[in-house]
Structure formats: structure tokens, C-alpha cells
């Protein structure tokens, strides 16, 4: 049976990873079978490289990965950044002032560019304790001292969707704003998305959008679904992503990626969309 795609693109959090940040044996085997059938697997994540590398190493993953919402194309096997796009800090500062003029003071964090780029967390910003390394800074101005690939926003009262909507309205065409997960609203360079990073990586692999199936769970995966031939949302996905998905599978806790890949490997064709 011929596997119908040449590229399998998977988000990490809420998609490939379970809540404990592991990948199930069933999903590992399904991805291995898809690659044995001639497809490449590519991780496409909002995480920057320093927050992604340990997961790729654990998977024995040595191909390309798209990190930082598309800002970074990373060669996992060589531990090397192939492309890296940074956020114009002056524009970002202007954008933040416009957001704060609309909604009041924000708590901020920022992801520094590079293979060893730290995530700096300012006063009041709530982090997911224990999961990923970060550096607390008392003075938020320290965040702006070196090149960044993104800035994270939190608001004391607005929820993620409301904050993202308000921020998007306030910044106009200065920067892009995405909601990438619970408590994760980000400011990015204008025009940057997972789709732009994935298209760069796919070109290096000699693969086209028409050859790609993509899996995701959050609104930041919408551009990737728009680029790929077939977008599969997890059962736990945000409603905005489900609305544009070609298919909805089981949750990340119940091997949703494997469910779809196993069917493709068995039949060589897609299930009826729903």
C-alpha cells in the first residue's frame, strides 16, 4: 500500500506530546512506519530551539524541525540553526505600548534568539513551573538587551482569546499576535507563522504543500493547516482550529496522530472528512 503523503508535520504540545511531555510507543511506531513508507516527519512547534532540543534528542529525531512559530529552521541531527528570524525590538516595543494603551499593564516574557537563547520572565508573568528553563528578571527592560524571536504577553484579567483579540486589534500591521496554548499569547514578526517556517523546511526537503499532512491543536496551527494539503485537529484542539480542520482525530492523550497514520498506512487513503 502506498502512503499518500511525503511529509508528516506535527505540532508538539497538545499534539505529539502527552501532558507529561512524552510520546507514546504507539505514536512512535506509527511515525516510524510512515517514514519507512517514504514520508519525512517534521516537528513544527511554537517552542524555540532551546525548549525543543531535549525532546527531539529523546525521540532520536535527526531531521529538520521548525521552531519558534516558524522563526527557526533547526537541523536536529547536527544541532545547528539553519535559519533564524528575529523580532524588531523597536516595533515590538511600540506594539506593546499600543496594547497597554487599550487593556492596561501587561506581564511580559521574551525568548532570546539563538541555539542557547534563554527565555526571560518579567515581574508578574505566570510560568508553568518545572516544565522548562527560564530566567527571572526584576527589571523588564533587561529583556530588550539582545535579539529576540518573540515576546509573551499575559493580562491579569483577560483570558487568552480575549487578550489575543485585543492585542491584534491594537497592533495593526506592526507585528503579528498568536494564541499558542493555555496562558501563551505571543508577539511575532509580521508575516511569520508556522506555515512560513514549514514552507522553508519543505523546500529544503524537496517536498510540496500538496504532499503534506499536518497535525495540531491551537490557533497558531491555523496557517499550517492552510498551507498543508490535509489538516488534522486533535480532539483536545481549540475550536478555532477545529473549524478549519479537514479531519478531527483522537486527543493527544489517546494517540490521535497514530490513529490517522495507521489508517493511512492500512488503506493508502484518507478517511471521509468530518
In order along its 274 residues, the chain shows pLDDT tens digits of: 689 999 999 999 999 999 999 999 999 999 999 999 999 999 999 999 999 999 999 888 999 999 999 999 999 999 999 999 999 999 999 999 999 999 999 999 999 999 999 999 999 999 876 677 899 999 988 999 999 999 999 999 999 999 999 999 999 999 999 999 888 999 999 999 999 999 999 999 999 999 999 999 999 999 999 999 999 999 999 999 999 999 999 999 999 999 999 999 999 887 554 4
* Alpha helix positions (H), 107-255: 160-171, 194-205, 222-227, 239-242
Question: Between helices 89-103 and 160-171, what is the axis angle to 10°?
Answer: 120
- What distance in Å separates the CA atoms of residue 166 and residue 181, rounded to the nearest whole number? 17
DSSP one-letter code for 184? E
pLDDT digits 0-9 by tens, 197-246: 999 999 999 999 999 999 999 999 999 999 999 999 999 999 999 999 99
Going by C-beta distance under 8 Å and a sequence separation of 6 or more, which residues neighbour residue 92? Answer: 148, 151, 175, 187
Residue 159 has, within 13 A of its CA and on its CB side, a CA count of 2
Q: What percent of the chain has pLDDT over 70?
A: 97
Q: What pLDDT is attached to residue 272?
A: 52
Residue 61 has, within 13 A of its CA and on its CB side, a CA count of 24
* 21 three-state secondary structure: coil
Question: Between helices 25-36 and 256-267, what is the axis angle to 10°?
Answer: 30
Which residue in 211, 204, 201, 96 sits closest to 151, CA to CA?
96
What angle (nearest 5°) sits at the alpha carbon of residue 23, between those of residues 205 and 81? Answer: 40
Own/partner pairs for 18-27, CB < 8 Å, 24+ apart?
A: 18/252, 18/253, 19/252, 19/253, 21/55, 21/131, 23/59, 24/255, 24/258, 26/255, 26/258, 27/255, 27/257, 27/258
Please give the C-alpha separations between residue 260 and each of 30, 32, 55, 128, 248, in angstroms, as whole numbers.
9, 14, 22, 30, 9
Amino acid at each position: 500500500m502506498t502512503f499518500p503523503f511525503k511529509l508528516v508535520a506535527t505540532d508538539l504540545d497538545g499534539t505529539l506530546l502527552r501532558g507529561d511531555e512524552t510520546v507514546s510507543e504507539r505514536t512512535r511506531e506509527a511515525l516510524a512506519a510512515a517514514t519507512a513508507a517514504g514520508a519525512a516527519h517534521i516537528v513544527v512547534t511554537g517552542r524555540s530551539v532551546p525548549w525543543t532540543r531535549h525532546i527531539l534528542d529523546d525521540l532520536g529525531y535527526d531531521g529538520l524541525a521548525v521552531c519558534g512559530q516558524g522563526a527557526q529552521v533547526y537541523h536536529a541531527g547536527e544541532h545547528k540553526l539553519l535559519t533564524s528570524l528575529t523580532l524588531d525590538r523597536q516595533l515590538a516595543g511600540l506594539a506593546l505600548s499600543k496594547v497597554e494603551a487599550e487593556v492596561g499593564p501587561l506581564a511580559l516574557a521574551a525568548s532570546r534568539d539563538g541555539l542557547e537563547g534563554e527565555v526571560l520572565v518579567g515581574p508578574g508573568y505566570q510560568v508553568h513551573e518545572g516544565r522548562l528553563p527560564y530566567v527571572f528578571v526584576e527589571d523588564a527592560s533587561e529583556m530588550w538587551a539582545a535579539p529576540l524571536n518573540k515576546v509573551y504577553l499575559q493580562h491579569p484579567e483577560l483570558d487568552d482569546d480575549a487578550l489575543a483579540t485585543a492585542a491584534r486589534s491594537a497592533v495593526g500591521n506592526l507585528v503579528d499576535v498568536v494564541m499558542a496554548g493555555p496562558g501563551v499569547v505571543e508577539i511575532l514578526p509580521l508575516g511569520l507563522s508556522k506555515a512560513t517556517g514549514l514552507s522553508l523546511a519543505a523546500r529544503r526537503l524537496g517536498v510540496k504543500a500538496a504532499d503534506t499532512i499536518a497535525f495540531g491543536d491551537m490557533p497558531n496551527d491555523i496557517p499550517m493547516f492552510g498551507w498543508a494539503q490535509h489538516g488534522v485537529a486533535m480532539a483536545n484542539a481549540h475550536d478555532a482550529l477545529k473549524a478549519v480542520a479537514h479531519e478531527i482525530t483522537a486527543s493527544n492523550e489517546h494517540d490521535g496522530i497514530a490513529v490517522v497514520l495507521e489508517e493511512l498506512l492500512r488503506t493508502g487513503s484518507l478517511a471521509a472528512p468530518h
